[in-house]
Amino acid sequence: MLKSIFGNGTVEKILFYVLTYGRGYAGRIAAVFNAPVNGIQQQLARLENGGVLVSTKYGRVRLYEFNPRYPFIAELKALLTQAMKFLPDVPPRSVTNGALKKQMRYELKLKEISCHRFTNQHKGSISRGKNHRSCTLKIQ
């Protein structure tokens, strides 16, 4: 739909994904759209170099999200939101894809690692009986 504006369909898919989920990483985006990871990574790098997206590294995973300092972020989100209204309704895929299952296991492992690091950092306060918040890392 917006392929002619963005130059290719991969950028369109990435931007729809980030708009919908808030952030994402190349492997997950590729699994959702059944696209090669290399193409997704190239377009994510292009969008980051252009200032549209920013990335943060969590372990070995680089998460991308919209750059709040991008001058046209409000207009871009409005355009994407409007375009999403014209997308056909597609029923969600069942989780039978091996690559998608692998990504989901990797996400769970990331959450475990993050929680482990959190409890090790606050080990002294836990042993003294002080309350602490549970850790959560949401990767979508």
Domain ranges of the chain: 3-84, 98-126
- Give the predicted TM-score (pTM) of the model: 0.64
Residues 108-123 pLDDT 10s: 555 555 444 444 444 4
Q: ∠69-107-104 over CA atoms, to 5°? A: 120
More confident residue, 102 or 18: 18
Is 45's pLDDT higher than 50? yes
Average pLDDT, the chain: 76
- Rounded CA-CA distance 52/103 in Å is 25
If one compares 25 and 111, the residue with the highest pLDDT of the two is 25
CATH node for 3-84:
1.10.10.10
H or E stretch at 50: none
Mean predicted confidence (pLDDT) in 21-37: 93
In order, the DSSP letters of 80-133 are: HHHHHTTSPP-PPPPTT-HHHHHHHHHHHHHHHHHHHHHHHHTHHHHHTT---P
